[in-house]
Amino acid sequence: MRRRTAFSLALGAAAAAALPTNAQQPARIVAVGSSITEIVYALGAEKLLVGVDTTSLYPEAARKLPQVGYMRALSAEGVLSLKPTLIIATTAAGPAGALDQLKATGIEIMILPDLYDYDSVIAKIAAVGKVTGKVAEADAMIAMGRQAMTSLAAALAKTADRPRVLFLLSMTGGAPQAAGRDTAAAGIIKLAGGTNAVDGYSGYRPLTPESVIASRADFVLVTRQTVEAMGGKQAILDQPSLNRTPAGKAGRIVEFDTLLLLGFGPRTPEAARELAMALHPDLARAP
């Protein structure tokens, strides 16, 4: 993981060094990844954006920009049509063939780490701040985020409870698709002082009824979009396997906006604290 991060940041540094310095020729940036787009807007550098990927739905203004496709299924032709001078993407971007085609044109590509921890958020903010000329704003954002995360960690240290949280992405053929290791869901659950209830695999996979019961989940975590697709919270809890978990029996289901919860961008401290308060009610009552 550390080698991957170092490699990604090295690419970012190389891209930053190669950017045009002429004030009459501002960068034309394509952002690939919702967190990158959010960072650009949060830093006040959105005028440099000429395009985004389809996951870039926040803030609302980003939806009005030309789109280059889904971040994992980019089309080199679509990106090139926007005549970018810089493409900023996360390590989740692809496919590799499209990225290779873009690199072959000589366009600078910055690949930033997306490792689902707060250190990678800081790295993304710092790198984007540098290439957009918003270093002071990035430093201020990082300092504020660090303070929020440090305060949250101190509050969580006072409680020994680490509830088991089952994140459900969707239902596939009647089976709940749950988050395992190395996922954004697992990362935010950890930051919020919880334990991912499923750790026998990486990524997202459908669970058997027996696996759902064996998860012994204290909470079910879902996105607002999943709740709407599955017909409401109660419909989720009524699943035969889920209603045999502690979460199902107690009706403990927590709902979040997808990008807030899983984005790992500027709003991650907010998401971590809100989830922590849901998992640890005593935190919500603390001053």
Residue 36's contacts (CB-CB under 8 Å, 6 or more residues apart) are 56, 88, 89, 90, 112, 124, 128, 265
Q: What is the pLDDT of residues 125-163, one digit of tens each?
A: 999 999 999 999 999 999 999 999 999 999 999 998 999
pLDDT of residue 283: 81
The whole-model pTM stands at 0.89
Q: What percent of the chain has pLDDT over 70?
A: 89
CA 200 to chain centre: 22
Q: Of residues 175 and 223, which shows the higher confidence score?
A: 223
Q: What is the pLDDT of residues 73-128, one digit of tens each?
A: 999 999 999 999 999 999 999 999 999 999 999 999 999 998 999 999 999 999 99
Distance separating alpha carbons of residues 67 and 75, to the nearest angstrom: 11
Residue 120, class by beta-carbon neighbours within 10 Å (0-12 exposed, 13-18 middle, 19+ buried)?
buried
Distance separating alpha carbons of residues 141 and 116, to the nearest angstrom: 18
Strand (E) or helix (H) holding 86: strand 86-90
Over residues 203-210, the mean pLDDT reads 92
Q: What percent of the chain has pLDDT over 90?
A: 79
Where does the pLDDT of residue 285 fall: very low under 50, low under 70, confident under 90, or very high at 90 and above? low
280, 159 contact by CB (below 8 A): yes
- Give just the sign of the alpha carbon dihedral 57, 59, 65, 71: negative
Is residue 215 classed as helix, strand or coil in its secondary structure? coil
pLDDT of residue 28: 97
192, 260 contact by CB (below 8 A): no
